[in-house]
């Protein structure tokens, strides 16, 4: 029975880490969205 609990906890932990990584990826994608792409290439915004 303890093996089943360990396995379920491990799967839940990996799922949680995956959700956090996906959310962080979306935050980075939003931060480097279309408004900031020109600044990254060194273009002038004026």
Q: Does residue 37 register a pLDDT over 60?
A: no
Q: Give the pLDDT confidence score for residue 31 in this predicted structure.
A: 74
Mean pLDDT of 7-28: 95
Of residues 32 and 6, the one with the higher pLDDT is 6
Q: Torsion-angle region of residue 43: left (phi > 0), alpha (psi -120 to 50) or beta? A: beta
* Domain count across the chain: 1
Cα 25–Cα 29–Cα 35 angle in degrees, nearest 5: 165
Residue 21 lies in a domain: yes
pLDDT at position 46, please? 52
42 located within any domain: no
> Could you please report the per-residue DSSP string of 11-25?
HHHHHHHHHHHHHHH
pLDDT at 9 over 90: yes
In a domain, 3, yes or no: yes
């Amino acid at each position: 029975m303890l093996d089943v609990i360990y396995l379920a906890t491990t799967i839940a932990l990996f799922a949680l880490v995956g959700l956090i990584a996906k959310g962080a990826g979306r935050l980075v994608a939003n931060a480097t969205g279309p408004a900031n792409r020109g600044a990254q290439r060194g273009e002038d915004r004026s």
